[in-house]
Amino acid sequence: MMTALEHLAYGESVENVAHHVGYESSSSFIVAFRNTFGTTPSRYFNVQVDKIN
C-alpha cells in the first residue's frame, strides 16, 4: 500500500494506481485502501493537504 501512496501523491489516478499495484478494479483497491487507512484515497489526500495548510 505504500507504493500506492507514492503513486497517488504524484497525481496518478486511482484507477492507474490500482492496476499498477495489482488490483483488477479501482473499487477493490479503494476497499483495500479504506481497510488499511480508514478512509478513501481522495479523503486521505484531502486531509493531508489540510494539515499542510
Q: Domain residue spans in the chain? A: 2-52
Q: What's this model's pTM, rounded to 2 decimal places?
A: 0.82
Question: Residue 52: its pLDDT value, please?
Answer: 60
Helix, strand, coil fractions of the chain, as percent rounded to 5: 75, 0, 25
What architecture (CATH level 2) is domain 2-52?
Orthogonal Bundle (1.10)
The pLDDT of residue 44 is above 80: yes
Q: pLDDT tens digit string along 10-34?
A: 989 999 999 999 999 999 999 999 9
CB within 8 Å of 26: residues ≥ 6 apart: 14, 15, 18
In the chain the first and final C-alpha atoms are separated, in Å, by 25
Q: Which pLDDT score, from 0 to 100, does residue 46 have? A: 75
16-20: long-range contacts, CB 8 A cutoff, minimum separation 24: 17/41
Mean pLDDT score across all residues of the chain? 89
Query: Which one has a higher pLDDT value, 9 or 20?
Result: 20
